[in-house]
Amino acid sequence: MSAKSTGSAGSAEKSSILKTPDKSIQGQAGLKTGAEIAVQTLIDQGVDTMFGYPGGVILPFFDRLYDAPIRFIIPRHEQGGCHMADAYARASGKVGVIVVTSGPGACNIVTGLGTAMMDSIPIVAITGQVRTELIGNDAFQEADTTGITRPVTKYNCIVKDIKDLERTIKEAFYIASTGRPGPVVIDLPVDIQVAKTNFDGKAEMKLRGYRPRPKGHSRQISMAAEAINKSERPVLYVGGGIIIANAAEEMRALAKKAHLPVTMTLLGLGSFDQNEPESLDMLGMHGSAYANYAVQECDLLIAVGARFDDRVTGKVKTFAPHAKIIHIDIDPASIAKNVRANIPVVGDAKYILAEMAKEVEYRQRKEWFAKIAQWKKKYPLTYDKKSTNIKPQYVIEQICELTGGDAIITTGVGQHQMWTPQFYKFRRPRQLITSGGLGTMGFGLPAAIGAQVAQPSATVVDIDGDHSFNMTMTELRTAVEYELPIKVCILNNGYMGMVRQWQELFYNRRYSKTYLANPEYAQVAEALGAVGMTVDKKADVPKAIKKALGEKRPCVIDFKVEREENVWPMVAAGKSLNEMDGLDLLESMA
Ligand SMILES: Cc1ncc(C[n+]2csc(CCOP(=O)(O)OP(=O)(O)O)c2C)c(N)n1
Ligand SMILES: [Mg+2]
């Protein structure tokens, strides 16, 4: 095989990933192989970028990619590839595409699919499969891919007849990207990839049972607007759905027109500029005290594109006890699943919020905003700024400052993931890319790669934990290979910090199995072809960040941060949202 097909660092590969498709590879009708049909249908769906890793039973498909006008990114591990496709989707608003082989390849994307499923991210995954006649025989590299991926996909299927292939791919894109989006797997046996049929690109979808309803009921919308007009103490609580629906503008207009304080979930961050006076920042387990208090004392909670996750609600029984609840969501199954809804509105947030905005009136709500201002003053999100050690929060503040609050930020999972929304002030949708629902360690680095592929001119920073980075650090080589200038900032506390925090608080400081000695990350980075830096003095933090921001190569900065810092405030699992620990500490540092 040539350098082009193996994806080595050869110049042919580098130039091919920059190529944007300008022409169809198979323009005319006629007999085509399954592999040709699959690749052409993907191009017809607007796909110009794919992630994937080859193997035996997906070879006919990969052969079609040899000279196809598609940017193709090969990760070092299929899990990384799936997170890249996911982050590509989150950063671009398009569908992410990942192609892998059967058996081990398909099994390796399960975590990535689960991550996308929990956060409603549109991915189409094509998995090679053994020949149809061998299925069920324990053939070499056979896995029951549809069985394994059923609970982590919005939809999956196996194509057993080449005549169904084009239609199935079109349906996959439609299902992945409409309604409440999610990942779709198409399992594609190798014999279907080489079979031939007539192809004209005109197959129609047959999805009788699947009909997302974008328009909300007009009476429900009016009822919601009326409730807002009557409310003395409203809170707008928005989730990732607002970003997925591209409805941030409509939400902002509604919040401004009706004068509503806005709190966001981890995935909703960026939908409302955190620098705006109405922003209450994030709510929930590690949300701000002012957001949590506001929710507990509000008389009206307007939930949009959010699903009342347990990390948001705390003890459900005592959640927002005085509030009437409006719940707007495209997914009827999400409404009233965890928390009662007084006014449910099923539909597309973009349309519904625009309609609602027409009917709402401005109200001053002086007392309510004064109360919120008091909480903000008393319990700010802060930390010990006088410490001479490198506080992880300080590093994030510096990253925010030096990127002008404008970078795309990805994260791993743990304490650093919670400090990120506390100390980086997000301004716009698709700026924070993080695994919310599944909480997948190892997401940050491949996500930064996927985001940089989607937004080549953006500054992309992965704020990572040491142990999260450990899980997928091999992908640093992928960033080097494709010359993606991502910046990885490891908040290296040596610990699996978030788990250590729970052990400190709830297991009597018995740090059982949460410490592992790490490698020198700067050396790892250099060995993989990236720039590596180590920072162990507070004064060097801004210098290192500036240097990384000016680099064209991928960079890794290993910040040796305070090892036993905790995330505050904290609503312990099962507690009510207003029962926060750490408030005294925040108050003393206010
Ligand atoms: C794949 C995976 N395994 C285990 C966990 C459980 N877990 C949550 S946070 C965490 C520790 C994270 O450590 P690190 O990445 O160093 O971040 P820190 O909390 O120290 O900032 C663990 C083990 C997880 N979320 N994901
Ligand atoms: Mg750590």
What is the full DSSP assignment across 302-337? EEES----HHHHSSGGGSSTT-EEEEEES-GGGTTS
Q: Predicted confidence band at 557 (pLDDT cuts at 50, 70, 90)? A: very high
Q: Is the CB of 499 under 6 A from ligand 1?
A: yes
* Cβ–Cβ under 8 Å, residues 59 and 190: yes
Distance 467 CA to ligand 2 centre (A): 5
Of all protein residues, the one whose alpha carbon is nearest to atom 3 of ligand 1 is 441
Diameter of the chain measured on Cα atoms: 75
Q: Is the CB of 412 under 6 A from ligand 1?
A: yes
What was the pLDDT predicted at 414?
98
pTM of the model: 0.95
In this predicted structure, the answer to whether residue 585 has a pLDDT above a threshold of 80 is yes
* Cβ–Cβ under 8 Å, residues 535 and 560: yes
312-367 confidence digits (pLDDT tens): 999 999 999 999 999 999 999 999 899 999 999 999 999 999 999 999 999 999 99
Q: Is the CB of 416 under 6 A from ligand 1?
A: yes
Residues 6+ apart with CB under 8 A from 308: 316, 319, 337, 338, 339
> Which DSSP symbol is given to 164?
G
Region 199-224: what's the mean pLDDT?
93
Report the SS3 class of residue 301. Answer: strand
Residue carrying the six token digits 């994806």: 7
For ligand 1, pick from 496, 502, 503, 521 the residue to mutate: most ligand atoms within 8 Å of CB. Answer: 496
Q: What is the 3-state secondary structure (H, E, C) of 419-484?
A: HHHHHCCCCCCCCEECCCCCCCCCCHHHHHHHHHHHCCCCCEEEEEEHHHHHHHHHHHHHHHHCCC
Buried b (16+ CB within 10 A) or exposed e, 162-198: bebbbbbbbbbbbbbbbbbbbbbbbbbbbbbbbbebe
* Cβ–Cβ under 8 Å, residues 521 and 453: no
Q: Predicted confidence band at 29 (pLDDT cuts at 50, 70, 90)? A: low
In this predicted structure, the answer to whether residue 306 has a pLDDT above a threshold of 60 is yes
Cα torsion 454, 455, 459, 460 to 10°: value is -10
**Separation between Cα atoms, residue 408 and residue 455, nearest integer Å:** 9
Q: What are phi and psi of 226, to 5 degrees?
A: -65, -40
Q: Predicted confidence band at 21 (pLDDT cuts at 50, 70, 90)? A: very low
**Separation between Cα atoms, residue 290 and residue 211, nearest integer Å:** 40
Q: Please tell me the total number of residues recorded for the chain in this structure.
A: 590
In this predicted structure, the answer to whether residue 464 has a pLDDT above a threshold of 80 is yes
Residue carrying the six token digits 């830096």: 533
Distance 275 CA to ligand 2 centre (A): 28
Q: Is the CB of 463 under 6 A from ligand 1?
A: no
What is the edge-to-edge ordering of all strands in the sheet holding 555-560?
432-433, 408-411, 460-465, 487-492, 555-560, 531-535
**Separation between Cα atoms, residue 247 and residue 213, nearest integer Å:** 16
Distance 520 CA to ligand 2 centre (A): 14
Q: Predicted confidence band at 9 (pLDDT cuts at 50, 70, 90)? A: very low
Higher pLDDT, 230 or 23: 230
Q: Is the CB of 423 under 6 A from ligand 1?
A: no
**Separation between Cα atoms, residue 475 and residue 216, nearest integer Å:** 43
Region 239-243: what's the mean pLDDT?
98
Distance 466 CA to ligand 2 centre (A): 5
What was the pLDDT predicted at 515?
96
Region 41-59: what's the mean pLDDT?
98
**Separation between Cα atoms, residue 566 and residue 501, nearest integer Å:** 6
Quick one: what percent of the chain has pLDDT higher than 70? Answer: 95
Region 571-584: what's the mean pLDDT?
96
Distance 471 CA to ligand 1 centre (A): 10
What was the pLDDT predicted at 20?
42
Distance 443 CA to ligand 2 centre (A): 14
Of all protein residues, the one whose alpha carbon is nearest to atom 24 of ligand 1 is 441
* Cβ–Cβ under 8 Å, residues 267 and 428: no
Residue type, 171: E
**Separation between Cα atoms, residue 140 and residue 20, nearest integer Å:** 36
In this predicted structure, the answer to whether residue 18 has a pLDDT above a threshold of 60 is no
| Strand 262-264, strand 343-346: pairing | unpaired
In this predicted structure, the answer to whether residue 15 has a pLDDT above a threshold of 60 is no
Token reading at 275:
């620098």
Average per-residue pLDDT for the chain: 95
| Strand 196-199, strand 30-33: pairing | antiparallel
Q: What is the 3-state secondary structure (H, E, C) of 97-133?
A: EEEECCCHHHHHCHHHHHHHHHCCCCEEEEEEECCHH
Q: Predicted confidence band at 214 (pLDDT cuts at 50, 70, 90)? A: confident
> Which DSSP symbol is given to 16?
H
Q: Is the CB of 494 under 6 A from ligand 1?
A: no
* Cβ–Cβ under 8 Å, residues 268 and 243: yes
In this predicted structure, the answer to whether residue 101 has a pLDDT above a threshold of 90 is yes
63-84 confidence digits (pLDDT tens): 999 999 999 999 999 999 999 9
Exposure of 457 in the CB half-sphere (CA atoms within 13 A) = 0
**Separation between Cα atoms, residue 411 and residue 447, nearest integer Å:** 8
Give the range among 2-16, 27-41, 48-62, 514-528 with minimum mean pLDDT. Answer: 2-16
Q: Predicted confidence band at 213 (pLDDT cuts at 50, 70, 90)? A: confident
